[in-house]
Amino acid sequence: MTEKLSEETRATLLDPLVESGWNLQEGRDAIAKTFVFNDFVDAFGWMTRVAIWAEKWDHHPEWDNVYKTVNVVLTTHDVGGLSALDVKMARKMDSLAAGQ
């Protein structure tokens, strides 16, 4: 079962994400990042690749897309905040974006 990140592990897991452009959401236990691509096709293609992993891991992002920009928020609703699944998904999103 997925658990909310403990206070002991939060900094270890979240600090590298913050360094790569993720931000802690104000007012909720979530992380957010804006990804900007070359054009709509690149943005939508990235979203499609992320969607495959999200389905595989049964962990789905909150996101919106306008043209070449995708805004993402990650949190684990089942535990009421951030979990290791959010960290895993953020890392996957970053690696897929780097492959563009």
Residues 71 and 65: their CA atoms lie apart, in Å, by: 7
Domain boundaries, the chain: 7-98
Per 3-state DSSP, the chain is made up of helix, strand and coil in percentages (nearest 5) of 45, 25, 30
Using CA atoms, how far residue 4 sits from 81, 88, 95, in Å, is 6, 13, 24
Is the whole model's pTM more than 0.85, yes or no? yes
Of 7-11, 42-46, 91-95, where does mean pLDDT reach its minimum? 7-11
> Tell me: the pLDDT tens digits for 67-79?
999 999 999 999 9
Domain 7-98: CATH superfamily is Transcriptional coactivator/pterin dehydratase (3.30.1360.20)
Main-chain dihedrals φ then ψ at residue 58, nearest 5 degrees:
50, 50
> Tell me: the pLDDT tens digits for 24-63?
999 999 999 999 999 999 999 999 999 999 999 999 999 9
Cβ atoms 100, 43 nearer than 8 A: no
Q: If pLDDT is split at 50, 70 and 90, which confidence band does 100 have?
A: low
> Chain-centre distance of CA 63, in angstroms?
9
